[in-house]
């Protein structure tokens, strides 16, 4: 039997049609988009075509689309770039940043560095047990010196979709108040939309965000490609300096084949969004319904309704995630877990910890993240092989907890 891939939040396969769109740009149309000659012009035209395609999907201007090397770089550039830009403009330290406890490490480790090295103040908002950020709490956290707010669109471990529009409203009010009072310090809204891209609306105007991160390999595009949307007028400084590419926000010869792939994949995701979202949601709901019938002491993590259509995440009592992962992989099923024993650092998932689950429960975390190629037969196979694995592992533990 063909191995079953249930780990699309980690990465997705490149869509074969996307590969076709990339191919000409490796060997034939290989020019440097900055070169003036015909080779360069050819690459430049392709690059700008891709930019237009992405801008259309995000409902923004072409100049607002910055191509990067992925979600991690986009998040780094968003946070550090804004902060550096404000410093350069003469805004005084200490400035304040608000984010949440359940962000990806690409955000959290960046804000930690901004605290440690640059003396920024950072508030890490709590979330409720479903992983939801409270926009009222966020409002209360805003201070006179708050310059940046970063809240993810959808969480990668439990799939909870955050109330971005509500948060945008709060930020808009603050902005208006500052305008009235003549306060010069801007307040920007960044969102990490890396997990949302395949299934949720990416219209930046509707979302009300100023800056948004995307990563190509999460929506059947190539790895090492990303986008940062930066609304016109946003103060942002390059963090990678050089030849002044990408409106001088991100230097480095553009990865033309990668960018072509990213744009094609995003277009495909946009075209198939409704269809794919409803397909994976019905598989997800089937799994969420059936699993507790086959395995005792299972609970769903994340929000019951406000969740990504493709993520089903659970805590399974009395078993450890790494043991579960290996057993499933030996049966040909790839999943992921937030268990401490499975992480290189032996730290349990910071997301599940922030959802207030005790350590021993987090041990039994299981994340199934579906993709458009998954089938009901695959879910049925999982439902068949998983219960005996749980039974076996619970037997090894045998009530000593």
Partner 1 sequence: MSNKGFGPYNEKVIDHFMNPHNLGEIKNPSGIGKVGNPTCGDVMQLHIKVEEKNGKEVITDIKFKTFGCAAAIATSSMITEIAVGMTLDEAKKLTRKDVSDKLGGLPPAKEHCSNLAADALHKAIEDYKKKA
Ligand X SMILES: Cc1ncc(COP(=O)(O)O)c(C=O)c1O
Instruction: Give me the residues that bind ligand FES (CB under 6 A), please.
Output: 341, 346
Residues near 208 by Cβ (< 8 Å), separated by ≥ 6?
A: 164, 165, 167, 168, 169, 171, 172, 189
Minimal distance, residue 340 CB to ligand FES, in Å: 6
Shortest Å, Cβ 294 to partner 1: 22
3-state class (DSSP) for residue 377: helix
Identity of the residue, 195 or 276, whose beta carbon is nearer to ligand X in the bound complex = 195
Interface with partner 1 in residues 314-333 (CB under 8 A): 318, 320, 322-323, 326-327, 329-330
Determine phi and psi for 390, rounding to 5 degrees.
-60, -45
Q: Look at residue 330 and give the partner it binds from ligand FES, ligand X, partner 1, none, a contact being a CB closer than 5 to 8 Å depending on partner kind.
A: partner 1
Based on its alpha-carbon atoms, the radius of gyration of the chain, rounded to whole angstroms, reads 22
Vertex 360: Cα angle to 356 and 363 (nearest 5): 95
Q: Which residue has the tokens 């769903």?
A: 300
- Options 48-56, 70-78, 128-136, 374-382: segment touching ligand X (CB under 6 A): 70-78
Give the residue from 98, 72, 81, 97 showing the smallest Cα distance to 235: 81
**Is residue 297 a contact residue for partner 1 (CB under 8 A)?**
no
Question: Residue 51, CB half-sphere, CA atoms under 13 Å: how many?
Answer: 22
d(CA 322, CA 366): 10
Judged by beta carbon, residue 10 or residue 185, the one nearer ligand X is 10
> CB of 301: closest distance to ligand FES in angstroms?
20
Burial class (CB in 10 A: 0-12, 13-18, 19+), 275: exposed
Which of 4, 106, 268, 269: binder of ligand X (CB under 6 A)?
Answer: 106
Residues in CB range of 365: below 8 A, 6 or more apart:
301, 313, 314, 315, 316, 321, 337, 338, 339, 349, 352
Active site residue 341: yes
Could you tell me which residues are beta bridge partners of residue 26?
none
Cross-strand pairs, 66 = 228
191 binding ligand X? (CB under 6 A): no
- Residues in the interface with partner 1 (CB under 8 A) total 25
By CB under 8 A, residue 401 contacts partner 1: yes
User: What binding mask, one character per residue, do residues 202-221 give for ligand X by CB under 6 A, x or -?
Assistant: -------------x-x----
Judge whether 301 and 316 are in contact, CB under 8 Å. no
Give the per-residue contact string, 379-398, with partner 1 (x = CB under 8 A; - = no): ----------------xxxx
Residue 191 or residue 323: which is nearer to partner 1 going by CB? 323
Cβ at position 248, least distance to partner 1 in Å: 42
Residue from 42, 64, 192, 320 in contact with ligand X (CB under 6 A): 192
Rank residues 303 and 363 by Cβ distance to ligand FES and give the closer one: 363
Query: Least separation, in Å, of the C-beta of 34 and ligand X?
Result: 24
Nearest to 218 by CA among 132, 282, 281, 153: 153
Instruction: Please list the helix, strand and coil fractions of the chain in percent, rounded to the nearest 5, in that order.
Output: 45, 15, 40
- Tell me whether the omega of the peptide bond preceding residue 201 falls within 30 degrees of 0, making it cis: no
Cβ 317 to ligand FES, closest distance in Å? Answer: 17
What is the spatial distance between Cα 331 and Cα 383, in angstroms, rounded to a whole number?
12
Residue 226 in the binding site for ligand X (CB under 6 A): yes
Kindly state the smallest distance separating residue 188's Cβ from partner 1, in Å.
39
Q: Check 45, 326, 330, 341 and give the catalytic one.
A: 341
Which residue intervals of 200-255 are DSSP H helices? Answer: 204-207, 245-248
Stretch that binds ligand X, among 141-149, 191-199, 204-212, 320-328 (CB under 6 A): 191-199
Q: Please say which residue, 276 or 342, places its beta carbon nearer to partner 1.
A: 342
Judged by CB under 6 A, the stretch of 23-31, 67-75, 121-129, 304-312 that binds ligand X is 67-75
Can you tell me the distance from the alpha carbon of 223 to that of 220, in angstroms, rounded to the nearest whole number?
9
Q: Which residues bind partner 1 (CB under 8 A)?
A: 318, 320, 322-323, 326-327, 329-330, 339-342, 344, 346, 348, 359-360, 363, 395-401
Q: Which residues bind ligand X (CB under 6 A)?
A: 70-72, 75, 104, 106, 152, 156, 192, 194-195, 215, 217, 226
For the annotated catalytic residues, the residue numbers are 341
């Amino acid at each position: 039997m063909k191995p079953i891939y249930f780990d699309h939040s980690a990465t997705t396969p490149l869509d074969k049609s996307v590969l076709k769109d990339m191919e000409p740009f490796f060997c034939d149309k290989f020019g440097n988009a900055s070169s003036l000659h015909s080779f360069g012009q050819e690459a430049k035209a392709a690059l700008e075509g891709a930019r237009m395609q992405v801008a259309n999907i995000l409902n923004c201007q072409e100049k607002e689309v910055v191509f990067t090397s992925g979600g991690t770089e986009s998040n780094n550039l968003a946070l550090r770039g804004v902060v550096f830009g404000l410093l350069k403009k003469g805004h005084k330290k200490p400035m304040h940043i608000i984010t949440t406890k359940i962000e990806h490490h690409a955000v959290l480790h960046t804000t930690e560095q901004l605290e440690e090295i640059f003396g920024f103040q950072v508030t890490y908002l709590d979330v409720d047990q479903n992983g939801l950020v409270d926009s009222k709490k966020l409002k209360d956290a805003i201070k006179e010196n708050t310059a940046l707010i970063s809240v993810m669109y959808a969480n990668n471990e439990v799939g909870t979709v955050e109330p971005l529009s509500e948060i945008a409203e709060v930020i808009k009010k603050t902005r208006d108040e500052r305008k009235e009072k003549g306060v010069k310090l801007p307040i920007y809204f960044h969102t990490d939309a890396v997990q949302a891209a395949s299934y949720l609306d990416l219209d930046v105007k509707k979302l009300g965000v100023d800056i948004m991160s995307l990563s190509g390999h999460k929506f059947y595009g190539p790895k090492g490609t990303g986008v940062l949307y930066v609304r016109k007028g946003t103060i942002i400084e390059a963090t990678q300096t050089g030849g002044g590419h990408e409106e001088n926000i991100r230097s480095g010869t553009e990865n033309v084949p990668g960018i072509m792939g990213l744009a094609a994949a995003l277009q495909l995701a946009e075209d198939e969004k409704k269809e794919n979202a409803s397909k994976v949601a019905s598989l997800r709901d089937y799994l969420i319904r059936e699993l507790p019938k086959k395995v005792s002491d299972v609970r769903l993590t994340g929000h019951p309704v406000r969740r990504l259509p493709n993520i089903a995440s659970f805590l399974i009592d009395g078993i450890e995630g790494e043991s579960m992962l290996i057993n499933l992989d030996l049966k040909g099923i790839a999943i992921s877990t937030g268990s401490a024993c499975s992480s290189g650092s032996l730290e349990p998932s910071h997301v599940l910890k922030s959802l207030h689950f005790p350590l021993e429960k987090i041990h039994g975390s299981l994340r199934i993240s579906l993709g458009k190629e998954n089938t009901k037969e695959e879910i049925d196979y999982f439902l068949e092989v998983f219960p005996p694995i749980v039974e076996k592992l619970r037997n090894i533990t045998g009530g000593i907890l």
